[in-house]
């Protein structure tokens, strides 16, 4: 599993001649990092003098962030596996018409799955921007730069995931699916960029 590699090994594996792990797994990792940083800022706020009134809010951030981290860690491998499935479908035999039909069906199925995985990452990362934004606004002032980094990592995770959605959409033939997801992507892209800008404007140091 990718998540069992050390940081050094993982970076080496990204840099290698193989297309996996690529941008999709990185999107999931960035979202997991953003969740982890939000969790840390919450922990650094809980029990601190001056922040007593925010105890419950911070407990909730820590709990939600932990759940996102757990889910997104699994998605690092899930995204690379989804890409490998697309590649495997392309390698199916295409000698007879039946084989060609089967192959095309398998490719389309794999592409739809490889689209849905980063779409979920984008949705999670979008919610993590909000968590991190709360940490910017209400968290321990000494950790405000960590909260700002969390906002930016979540933004880049979400936009990165959407690039992976878009590149797959270009090869998907189900026009309804393409249209629906395409609309979602546009709407999310704008919202992500705006929310990051708003939260970063709250950073005071």
Phi-psi region of 50 (alpha: psi -120 to 50; beta: other; left: phi over 0): left
* Binding flag, residue 167, its own copies (CB under 8 A): yes
At 81, list the tokens.
Answer: 């596996």
Which residues within the stretch 137-166 sit at the binding site for its own copies (CB under 8 A)? 142-146, 148-150, 152-153, 155-156, 159-160, 163-164, 166
Binding-site size for its own copies (CB under 8 A) equals: 57
Nearest to 43 by CA among 72, 13, 63, 23: 63
Task: Compute the distance between CA of residue 179 and CA of residue 73 in angstroms, rounded to an integer.
Answer: 29
* Binding flag, residue 201, its own copies (CB under 8 A): no
* Binding flag, residue 89, its own copies (CB under 8 A): no
At 50, list the tokens.
Answer: 């001056």
* Binding flag, residue 205, its own copies (CB under 8 A): yes
Q: Which is nearer to its own copies, 91 or 95 (CB)?
A: 91
* Binding flag, residue 170, its own copies (CB under 8 A): yes
At 157, list the tokens.
Answer: 């995770």
Task: Compute the distance between CA of residue 185 and CA of residue 74 in angstroms, rounded to an integer.
Answer: 23
* Binding flag, residue 76, its own copies (CB under 8 A): yes
Contacting range for its own copies; rule: CB under 8 A; set: 36-44, 103-111, 119-127, 179-187: 36-44
> What CA–CA distances, in Å, run from 69 to 66, 72, 80, 121?
5, 5, 18, 11
Task: Compute the distance between CA of residue 100 and CA of residue 201 in angstroms, rounded to an integer.
Answer: 54
Footprint of its own copies on this chain (CB under 8 A)? 2-8, 10-12, 14-19, 22-23, 26-27, 29-30, 32-33, 35-37, 39-40, 43-44, 65-66, 69, 73, 76, 142-146, 148-150, 152-153, 155-156, 159-160, 163-164, 166-167, 170, 203, 205
């Amino acid at each position: 599993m990718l998540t069992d590699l050390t940081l050094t090994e993982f970076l080496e594996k990204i840099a290698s001649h193989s297309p996996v792990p690529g941008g999709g797994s990185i999107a999931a990792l960035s979202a997991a990092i953003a969740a982890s940083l939000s969790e840390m800022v919450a922990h650094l706020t809980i029990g601190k003098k001056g922040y007593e009134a925010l105890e419950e809010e911070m407990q909730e951030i820590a709990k939600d962030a932990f759940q996102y981290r757990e889910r997104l860690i699994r998605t690092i491998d899930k995204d690379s596996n989804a890409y490998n499935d697309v590649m495997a479908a392309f390698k199916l035999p295409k000698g007879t018409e039946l084989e060609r039909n089967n192959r095309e069906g398998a490719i389309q199925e794999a592409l739809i799955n490889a689209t849905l995985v980063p779409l979920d990452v984008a949705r999670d990362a979008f919610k993590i921007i909000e968590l991190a934004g709360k940490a910017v606004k209400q968290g321990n002032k000494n950790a405000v730069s960590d909260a700002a980094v969390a906002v930016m990592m979540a933004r880049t995770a979400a936009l990165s995931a959407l690039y992976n959605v878009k590149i797959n959409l270009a090869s998907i033939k189900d026009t309804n699916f393409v249209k629906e997801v395409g609309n979602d992507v546009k709407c999310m892209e704008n919202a992500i960029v705006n929310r990051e800008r708003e939260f970063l404007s709250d950073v005071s140091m």
